[in-house]
Chain A
Amino acid sequence: MNLYVYTLRRLLYIIPVLLGVCAIVFFLFSVVSPDPTLIMLGKHASVQQMEELRRELGLDRPWFIQYLDIVKSAFTFDFGRSWSTKQEILTMIKQGAIPSLTLSLPAFILSFVISITISLFVAFYRGKILDKIAIFGCVSMMSISSLAYILFGQWFFGYKLGLFEISGYEYGFPDFVPYVILPGIIWIILGLGPDVRFYRTILLDEIYQDYVRTARAKGLGESLILFKHVLKNAMIPIITYLIIAIPFLILGALLLESFFSIPGLGAMTLNAVNASDFPVIKAMTILTSVAYIIFSVITDICYTLVDPRVRLK
């Protein structure tokens, strides 16, 4: 099978998955969820009031029409209006995307650079005491609740030392910078444990391959082997890991944004949860899922392009 057929098939598989995502969203929010009118109007609403609201929200229509609405929104991104702010959801998303990305994008890139550097270092000293300390450090860091990092970081660096802004946001460069430094640092620290551990595993998988022995037999030095031969092979799973993480950047850092009062998509989602704002929760779920699906297709296709080995099945 050639690349075009493979790509086409991979693209076509988006459709059933997307329909599946819509079905799950529909099932969760329209079938098993508590009656939204009850949440919005409170316990003392009259039956008539509820009927009216149902009609207004379009909840009285047949179920398959409601399902089709969700499917349609996955393609048009027209998610309707928020129940709580009454704003157009797409506009809210556009507004929220900027603060989210100013926090998540630099943090994401820096986090990658730092983690991969450390893991190369650790892989170089594999089996030695430094490696063992690093691994234990990673596992320990992963064991501490992310909330503890955020709370402690905010209190110690922001409040106690007064080094950084601890709350709020301003639009435009460079005004936003002071507000994203501390959450950015915390983001990087949060990622350190799992990322270093993952990259190290990938690198070590490659280090024990036969071609590394060949490279040594040729007279190559360890650092050249690591940086040239091993890294180039390890890049493939690493890129996959990275691309798959990108869709989650849209959500920003749900917790970080809410703690540091950054008006991004993460904070917006949390607000929607607290306000039982179904349309916004649904919109964010669909949006991130669509992004995830698209990026996983991109990864698969990249894979076939980057790796000369891949035989298409």
Chain B
Amino acid sequence: MATEQQSKSLWQHAWETLLRDKMAVVAMIIIFVYMAMAVLSATGIIVSDWAAEVGPSYGAPSLDHWFGLDMFGRSVLAKTIKGTEVAISVGFIASLLSLVIGVTLGSIAGYFGGRVDEFIVWFYTTFTSIPNIMLLVAITFISGKGLKAVILALGLTGWVSLCRLIRGEVIRHKDREYVHAASAIGGGNYRKLVKHILPNVTHIMIISFSLQFQIAIKSEVILSYLGLGVQGRPSWGIMIDDAKLELARGVWWQLGAATFAMALVVLAFNILGDALRDALDPKLKGK
């Protein structure tokens, strides 16, 4: 009971620290707006007509169309908003996948130790030896191009650093008194791990999740450029890729809009990640 109460006030304290950080609050608002846009566009409430031709090909930004028009006369603004759908879903599902893999392997390795630990350490050492970009390419390639492939590739490659951190923390917590107390009252391994150790590493998961989110958004753009990304629906990566040919004609707005849309949300995640780290675990600074 004592630890539970303590951790509650710890969260409360962290939350208060976070709210006092104005930058972090702005970042949270930005992220919330993006999430809302993604949900609204996915359910067809907004920008369902993004594919409609609303003006001349490559129409420049104007009062009617703030971000200009693309080759097919479609509104770049609508496409950019529609693009949040891909970005947020890739970011969210991929980082969730990384989180699950990282936490599972990390806590198993840390908790059971011995041979199991050696095997998992060997596995992630091996995994990190392969350059991430090669793995990304290989996995998207194999699972066939498209949204699912991108999410799978990013999810399957982003778990290593979290796994390391969790393993270290679990090892640290394993021998603490409250865990021993739990075994004394007859808690099984699973119960001990889930009920007593994992709540103590939740902050690491949150920080890592927010970091992984923006890495996934950035990587989606690159995969799209490599032709391995989503097809047939607007994504910031495809918009930036299109800009390759447009810039020479002086059409910069598609690049501008996609870059700005992406940079803003990535920046927000970066700032939130740093603020979370400062609020939840100052020790993690710089790691």
Contacts and interface: CB of A to CB of B under 8 A. Distances in A.
Contacts of A159: 247-248
Interface in A112-162: 139-140, 142-148, 151-152, 154-155, 159
A255 B222 contact: yes
Interface string B236-260: 1100110110011000100100010
Nearest to B271: A139
Given A17-B122, A32-B142, A159-B248, A273 B137 contact: yes
Interface stretch (B91-99, B127-135, B171-179): B127-135
B129 A148 contact: no
B112 interface: no
A148 B255 CA distance: 7
A274 B255 contact: no
Interface stretch (A43-51, A211-219, A223-231, A282-290): A282-290
Interface string A37-60: 000000000000000000000000
Contacts of A143: 214, 262-264, 266-267, 270
Contacts of A288: 130-131, 134
B221 A29 contact: no
27 contacts: A20-B127, A23-B126, A24-B126, A24-B127, A29-B142, A140-B267, A142-B270, A143-B214, A143-B266, A143-B270, A144-B262, A145-B221, A145-B236, A145-B262, A145-B263, A146-B218, A147-B221, A148-B240, A148-B259, A152-B247, A155-B252, A270-B226, A273-B228, A281-B138, A285-B134, A288-B131, A292-B128
Contacts of A154: 247
B22 interface: no
A197 to B, nearest CB: 9
Interface residues of B, number: 46
Contacts of B236: 145
Q: Chain A's interface: helix, strand, loop or mixed, by majority?
A: helix
A175 B263 CA distance: 37
Interface of B: 122-123, 125-131, 133-134, 137-139, 141-142, 144, 214, 218, 221-222, 225-228, 236-237, 240-241, 243-244, 247-248, 252, 255, 259, 262-264, 266-267, 270-271, 274, 285-286
A29 B138 contact: yes
B122 A21 contact: no
Interface in A1-40: 16-17, 20-21, 23-25, 28-29, 32-34
A188 interface: no
A52 to B, nearest CB: 24
Contacts of A32: 142
Interface string A70-109: 0000000000000000000000000000000000000000
A139 B221 CA distance: 18
A274 B145 CA distance: 12
B239 to A, nearest CB: 10
Nearest to B143: A32
A196 to B, nearest CB: 13
B164 to A, nearest CB: 14
Given A139-B270, A292-B128, A292-B130, 17 more contacts: A16-B122, A20-B127, A21-B129, A24-B130, A29-B138, A32-B142, A34-B144, A143-B262, A144-B259, A147-B237, A154-B247, A254-B133, A281-B138, A285-B138, A289-B129, A292-B129, A292-B131
Contacts of A180: none
Interface in A271-301: 273-274, 276, 281, 284-285, 288-289, 292-293, 296
Contacts of A24: 126-127, 130
A289 B226 CA distance: 21
Interface residues of A, number: 49
Given A205-B286, A289-B130, A20 B122 contact: yes
A202 B244 CA distance: 38
A155 to B, nearest CB: 4
Residue among B122, B128, B130, B134 with the most chain A CB within 10 A?
Answer: B134
A145 B259 CA distance: 7
Nearest to B214: A143
A151 B286 contact: no
A281 B136 CA distance: 12
Nearest to B131: A288
Contacts of B139: 28
A261 interface: no
A152 B137 contact: no
A178 B269 CA distance: 38
B142 to A, nearest CB: 5
B247 A146 contact: no
A16 B125 CA distance: 10
Nearest to B138: A28
B225 A255 contact: yes
